[in-house]
Amino acid sequence: MITRRMAFYIATAIVAITINFFIPRLMPGNPALAVLGRVQANESPQAIAALEVQYGVQTKTGLWGQYVQYWSHLLHGNLGISLSAYPESVGSLIRAALPWTVGLVGIATVISFLLGTLLGVAAAWRRGTWLDGLLPTMAFFQAAPYFFVAILAVALFSTKLGWFPPNSGYDTTTLNPGLNWPFISSVLDHAALPAVTIVLASIAGWIIGMRNMMITTMDEDYVLLAQAKGLPSQRVISYAARNALLPSVAGFSLAIGFIVSGALLTEIVFSYPGVGYLLFSAIGSDDYPLLQGIFLIITLAVLLANLAADFVYAFLDPRTRQEA
Amino acid sequence: MRRLLRSPKIVIGLCLSGVFGLLAIIGPLLAPYNPNTSVSTTVSVPQPPSAAHLLGTTQVQQDVLSQLLVGGRSTILVALVAGAAATALAVLFGVAAGYFGSWGDDGLSMLANIFLVLPALPLLIVIFGFLGKGANPNDVVIGVIIAITGWAFGARQLRAQTLSMRSRDFVDSARIIGEKSWRIMTFEILPNLIPVVATSFLFTVIYGVGTYTALSFLGVISTSHWSWGTMLYWAQSAQAAQQVHLEWWWFVPPGLAVGLFGTGLALLNFGIDEFVNPRLRGGTGSVSGRRARRAGLPRRAQLGLTPVLSGSIKKAS
């Protein structure tokens, strides 16, 4: 099962890379030329030459040759040259931003999943109590954009109450990055509010999914038997919850793309020095190589997260292991 | 139909989304000012709500209420177009894949799965980035482009439902009579899938609102094309939430509008889910908590047992 999924992820990665190659070449009105025209005025000749190679303008190589060349660049880890931060490479810019995003989004997602699942179990077990009233509220948080929740969080907790710093990843005025306590505590202090925002905005999906699955599972005969035997409710709940958990883990692959996208937007509100903020500045400065590089890296990260979820699934559900 | 309207979730959902639908149609006509016009050139600080400007003004003294009313049309139009186009794609691919099976199914399912795991927003940013920030983008085109990334979820669900229906007796008999495949799919199978189509439509409209708002918040779509996302873009670039005098009238209305419109659609979705699967309803079994208490039932339902009320027995007989 895992090998089949891996083959699928590799196919998806190839599709993403191919899409990334063709978008600038196949859109109406040759956008690559338009891009060159837009940036020509204020770029150095080297930057323009690099762009021409990347987008296949003024070259005698055919489309297939360009595609092969694009792949060989990628496999050497070459994502092109950034326009806005010339002569920095796209790769080095993303490398600097990636740890911030992976740390923030990773931790927030794990917290959101665990907490949401627990709350979902509780909501299913205590169906018909005030917990049902939470559903419409959660629908709002699910429908409201992440960055709006983020803006509200900044307004309330940092501007109004002053509990948290409103922007950036650490105290940039007095501290230098390093493995020392002042820096680490500053990082944690700055990450708290963005993380809470991501948890708040993403938790509703887990709660609702787990509640609905749990309600269906609680009607199974084995749960009834467990209760008839007089097992304490906690044991009964854990029997039902373990099986109800499977679709949640399987649904992880659907959710992770949304969560990552939402988290990128959250970073922008907090001016958090991660990939989302980099993306925002790339849009603002028409830095097309950087935009495309970020798309590829995010796609690969999402595929890796999916693979991890598959491993967890295989661990939880023996049936999938037997098949292989 | 009347049974549908008895669910409070459906009623509230219908009201909320109806209000926003109405707003999309008549909103721009109600706008008291031109959303682009600066009402004053001497003031450079956003003004709080007043009688002249019910939702205050922006930094360049544009009327926030007018922007909200004008931007609503674009936001809702894009979302509806995205939902309709994505649902059409989902029905086409999902039903065909489920009905025909074999390699066509494998291919379409593979395609749907790829689109499900590809992160949509970064892909859309690249597409819109290359399309350029044209002065006045077409809402329908934006909606269709968003739909390209939003059809896969519905297609997968429709495929599963079609699969379970393919070998039912009524489909078999239609096939034996000699009905054509497209006829069986559209007139025999599709009518049974309407709840799934409806939830998938609502789901993609929510997706469309969120995605369009995010794209215009990022500034990938022309920042002079008014939508709720564009309003948030300008509020964020003026750091309205970070100012000492919190300029809440600038960023709360558009965000709240997006959230409430989405909530309305999500409630409709919950309502349909509960209609199809009564066990999901709150309260003990199929009875609301209050009715159960009045009938003297235990507070918490026993597992696996759906309580029967005297009222419901009488109705059934």
| Min Cα separation B150/chain A (Å) | 12
Number of alpha carbons in the 13 Å side-chain half-sphere of residue A187: 16
Residues of A in contact with B304 (CB under 8 A): 218-221, 223-224
What is the average pLDDT across A256-262? 82
* A147/B214 CB distance under 8 A: yes
d(Cα A292, Cα A77) in Å, to the nearest integer? 14
Res B9 pLDDT > 60 = yes
d(CA B144, CA B43): 41
Q: Which of B11, B157, B242 would you mutate first to test chain A, the one with the most A CBs within 10 A?
A: B242
User: In this model, does residue B310 exceed pLDDT 60?
Assistant: no
**Residues A207-233: what's their mean pLDDT?**
84
Q: Is pLDDT above 50 for B315? A: no
Q: How big is the CA angle at B266 (ends B264 and B272), to the nearest 5 degrees?
A: 105
Which pLDDT score is estimated for B300?
A: 46
Q: Which of A22, A30, A148, A235 is most worth mutating to test chain B (most B CB atoms within 10 A of its CB)?
A: A148
What is the value of pTM for the model shown? 0.81
**Which of A31, A215, A221 is facing B130, going by the closest CB pair?**
A31
B110 and A11 within 8 Å at the Cβ level: the answer is yes
Query: Using CA atoms, how far apart are residues B266 and B202, in angstroms rounded to an integer?
Result: 7
Instruction: Determine contact: A166 vs chain B, CB below 8 A.
Output: yes
Q: Cβ of A13 under 8 Å from any chain B Cβ? A: no
Q: A80 versus B285: which is more confidently predicted?
A: A80
pLDDT at A30: 60
pLDDT, residue B84, reads: 93
* pLDDT computed for residue B79 by the predictor: 92
Range from A100-104, A294-298, B20-24, B242-246 carrying the lowest mean pLDDT: B242-246
Of A35, A155, A295, the CB nearest to B241: A155
Q: Which has the closest alpha carbon to A15: B110, B154, B101?
A: B110
The ipTM is: 0.81
Spell out which residues of chain A touch residue B302, defining contact as CB-CB under 8 Å: 227
Tell me, what's the pLDDT at B88? 92
How far B220 CA sits from the closest chain A CA (Å)?
Answer: 7
Q: What is the pLDDT of residue B82?
A: 93
CB < 8 Å to A213, chain B: none
The predicted pLDDT at position B81 comes to 93
Q: Three-state SS for B252?
A: helix
Are the beta carbons of B236 and A8 separated by less than 8 Å? Answer: no
Q: Which residues contact A319 (CB under 8 A, 6 or more apart)?
A: none
Most confident of B79-93, B110-124, B211-225: B79-93
State yes or no: pLDDT of A8 exceeds 50: yes
Residues of B in contact with A147 (CB under 8 A): 214, 217, 232, 236
> Which residues of A are less than 8 Å from B121 in CB distance?
257, 261, 264
Nearest residue in chain B measured CA to CA from A268: B218
Q: Which residue stretches of chain B are H helix?
A: 2-5, 8-30, 64-100, 102-117, 120-131, 139-148, 152-165, 169-177, 181-183, 194-218, 228-237, 248-276, 289-294, 310-316
Mean of the per-residue pLDDT values of chain B: 78
Helix or strand run (H / E) with residue B60: none
Query: Would you state the pLDDT for residue B299?
Result: 45
Helix (H, G, I), strand (E, B) or coil at B222: coil
Would you state the torsion angle of the CA atoms of residues A46, A47, A53, A56, taken in this order, to the nearest 10 degrees?
-130
B117 interaction partners in chain A (CB closer than 8 Å): 9, 12, 253, 257, 302-303, 306
Give the mean pLDDT of B252-270. 86
Torsions phi, psi for A24 (to 5 deg):
-70, -20
Residues of A in contact with B293 (CB under 8 A): none
- The pLDDT of residue B316 is 37
Q: Is the predicted pLDDT of residue B309 greater than 50, yes or no?
A: no
Interchain CB contact of A288 with B (< 8 Å):
yes
pLDDT, residue B312, reads: 39
Q: What angle do CA B285, B291, B297 make, to 5 degrees?
A: 65
pLDDT 10s digits, A38-97: 665 566 666 666 666 667 666 666 778 778 878 888 888 777 777 777 677 788 888 888
Bridge partners (DSSP) of residue A81 are A89
Weakest mean pLDDT among A96-105, A203-212, B133-142? B133-142
Would an 8 Å CB–CB cutoff place A264 in contact with chain B? yes
For residue B249 the two structure tokens come to 């009238």
Best mutation site among B11, B12, B76, B121 for testing chain A: the one with the most A CBs within 10 Å?
B121
Segment B242-266 mean pLDDT: 83
Give the residue from B315, B286, B316, B284 showing the smallest Cα distance to B301: B284
Average pLDDT, integer, range B26-47 = 77
For residue A127, which residues of chain B lie inside 8 Å, CB to CB?
282-284, 300-301
Angle at A251 between CA A247 and CA A253, to 5 degrees: 145
- Chain A residue closest in CA terms to B269: A139
Q: Could B117 and A302 be called an inter-chain contact, meaning their C-beta atoms sit closer than 8 Å?
A: yes
Determine whether the interchain pair B119/A257 forms a contact, defined as Cβ–Cβ distance below 8 Å.
yes
Return the residue of B nearest to A133 by Cα: B282
Q: What is the mean pLDDT of chain A?
A: 79
| Residue B57 DSSP one-character state | B
Q: Which residues of A touch B127 (CB under 8 A)?
A: 23, 27
Chain A CB contacts of B255 below 8 Å? 144-145, 148, 151-152
Provide the shortest C-alpha distance from residue B237 to chain A (in Å): 9
A11 and B CB contact within 8 Å: yes
* Number of separate helices (H) and strands (E) present in chain A: 13, 0
Mean pLDDT confidence for A179-198: 78
B283 pLDDT more than 60: no
- List the structure tokens of B239: 């750091």
Say if residue A240's pLDDT is above 70.
Answer: yes
With an 8 Å Cβ cutoff, is A135 touching chain B? yes
Closest approach of chain B CAs to the CA of A12, in angstroms?
6
Residue A148's nearest CA partner among B69, B265, B262, B76 is: B262
Q: Quick one: pLDDT at residue B237?
A: 81
pLDDT of residue B98 exceeding 90: no
Chain B residue numbers touching A255 (CB-CB < 8 A): none
Closest residue on chain A to B210 (Cα): A145
**Amino acid (one-letter) located at A82:** S
Place of tokens 């819109």: B128
To which residue do tokens 């590809």 refer? B118
CB of B27 within 8 A of CB of B226? no
A24 contacts chain B (CB < 8 A): yes
Please count the residue pairs, one from chain A and one from chain B, whose beta carbons lie less than 8 angstroms apart.
Answer: 202
Instruction: Return the residue of A nearest to B8 by Cα.
Output: A136
Give yes or no for a contact between B232 and A147, defined as CB atoms under 8 angstroms apart: yes
Residue A60 has a pLDDT of: 64
